[in-house]
Amino acid sequence: MLVKITAVLAVVVVAILAFAATKPDSFRVERKLVIQAAPDKVFPYLEDPKKTIEWSPWEKKDPNLKKTFSGAAKGKGAVYEWDGNNDIGAGRLEITEVVPNAKVVMDLHFLRPMEGRNIAMYVVTPKDGGSEVAWSIEGPSPFLSKVMCVFMNMDKMIGGEFDKGLADLKVLVEGKGA
């Protein structure tokens, strides 16, 4: 009986690993939302890490989150480092490119719970008398990530947080009478 159970478990593990191997080598998650404000009213909340934390969904998950800001005050070269609980982990974000009122590109280096390096981006496009804000993240999917994605949906997990953050950004900006 023990041999049969071991054989079945081995087959299941091999099947999971084989299925994981078919997953893409990279990932991308993106969410968009229209905010009824001009791009120049939205953009300050995207290019300044101190203002980004006003609407970031992750800031709410750890009231004791340790934050460090360095480099430029905002825009290219601005750095935000965090160290938080298990929900937040630790990492470093550096703004690497800014197109005024249009785009912010960030190098995102996660240190824990798992190390990883990704590119995050905000793109602002005039739309419907306001601004469409697209928030995305993309990066490599090493084999361990592929195995994890067999059991969880990264688009729903990260995308859901992006939806919350963009909704809070909308309330913040539109509440300022933009």
Closest CA to 85 of 61, 114, 69: 61
Q: Give 59-79 pLDDT, tens digit per residue.
A: 888 889 999 999 999 999 999
Residue in this structure with the two tokens 């929900």, named with its chain if needed: 87
Which tokens hold the place of 16? Answer: 């999971």
Residue 68: its H or E element: strand 66-71
State residue 15's pLDDT score.
73
Interval 20-43 mean pLDDT: 88
State residue 30's pLDDT score.
96
Q: What percent of the chain has pLDDT over 70?
A: 93
Q: Which residue has the higher pLDDT, 113 or 123?
A: 123
State residue 13's pLDDT score.
73
